[in-house]
Amino acid sequence: MEPILWFGWFRADIIAEYGVMFWRGLQMTILVTVICIVQGTALGLAIGLARLADARHSPARQICRYLLRWPSTVYVSFFRGTPLFVQILLIHFAVLPLFINPADGLLISGETARSLKQNYGAFISGILALTLNSGAYISEIFRAGIQSIDRGQIEASRSLGLSFARTMYHVVLPQAFRRMLPPLGNNAIALLKDSSLISAIGLAELAYTARTVAGAYSRYWEPYLSISLMYWTLTLGLAWAVKRLEARYGRGDTR
């Protein structure tokens, strides 16, 4: 292909040549982000509730403390206290082989394990690491959101005869969710950007594509500027979506 120069220096033909690869990379980045937002939110809710679990009487009181609050606190502390990059490497090269391994995988072994690892290894590890990591952060958002709801709301609901679970579902979580939307949006944006770290274990998403292109041509402006603009567009889109949600759940707000 003939070199095409934009503004006298930008080799647009490189981007065009790798167009399909960039497109696939973009799809992979979006796929990973969406999966991790969904799973991370579900995990974050579960962990957030576990961190708040308490009961008045034994043995439920002890169960809440030792089987729910302590483990979830340690979990959150670990995943917030270590670098995501290290978590990705640890999970991909140490944890995953323990469970999926042709010789003696605890979960899957033999030929299935070999092909699974070859074709989807980086995908599985990446998703697992990013989900576990964002779950820790999201659980803190849930915890703070739930704790920010006035006790009177819970008392009013319980006084009407609604159970604890129903009170959470109908009264506390909808109000907490509204307050949690801005931090959840920030978290989703961080997750989108952090997904680029998975390129380190060879998942063909946007950053990986850029690195490949950069290596092939020894040109750096074109691939990295291009994916920067793609990430930027995606984060702008996410921010817009969060704003729409805020407006929708904002009914009944003071202002």
Partner 1 sequence: MDEVIRVEGLTKNFGQLQVLRGIDCSVKSSEVVCVIGPSGSGKSTFLRCLNGLEEASGGRVLVHGVSVHDNSTDVDALRSEIGMVFQRFNLFPHMTVLDNITLAPTKVRGVALEQAREQARALLIKVGLLDKIDAYPNQLSGGQQQRVAIARALAMQPAIMLFDEPTSALDPEMVGEVLSVMQTLAEEGMTMMVVSHEMGFARRVANRVLFMDEGVLVEEGTPEEVFDHPREERTRRFLSSVL
Q: How far is the CB of 170 from partner 1 (least distance, A)?
A: 6
Q: Which is nearer to partner 1, 157 or 195 (CB)?
A: 157
Q: How far is the CB of 95 from partner 1 (least distance, A)?
A: 41
> In angstroms, rounded to a whole number, what is the distance separating the alpha carbons of residues 241 and 238?
5
Q: How far is the CB of 245 from partner 1 (least distance, A)?
A: 14
Q: How far is the CB of 255 from partner 1 (least distance, A)?
A: 9
What's the Cα-to-Cα distance from 251 to each of 182, 201, 203, 247, 254, rounded to whole Å?
16, 44, 42, 7, 9
The pair of three-digit structure tokens given for residue 63, joined into one six-digit string: 């169960």
> In angstroms, rounded to a whole number, what is the distance separating the alpha carbons of residues 149 and 137?
19
Three-class SS of residue 238? helix
Q: Which residues bind partner 1 (CB under 8 A)?
A: 56-57, 150, 152-153, 155-163, 166, 170-171, 174-175, 178, 249, 251-254
Q: Which is nearer to partner 1, 20 or 56 (CB)?
A: 56
Q: How far is the CB of 171 from partner 1 (least distance, A)?
A: 6
31 burial via Cβ count (<10 Å: 0-12, 13-18, 19+)? middle
Q: Which is nearer to partner 1, 64 or 162 (CB)?
A: 162
What's the Cα-to-Cα distance from 1 to each of 11, 13, 169, 192, 223, rounded to whole Å?
11, 7, 59, 33, 17
Q: Which is nearer to partner 1, 56 or 103 (CB)?
A: 56
Q: Which is nearer to partner 1, 80 or 244 (CB)?
A: 244
Instruction: Determine how β-strand 10-11 pairs with β-strand 5-6.
Output: antiparallel
- Specify the DSSP class assigned to residue 108: B
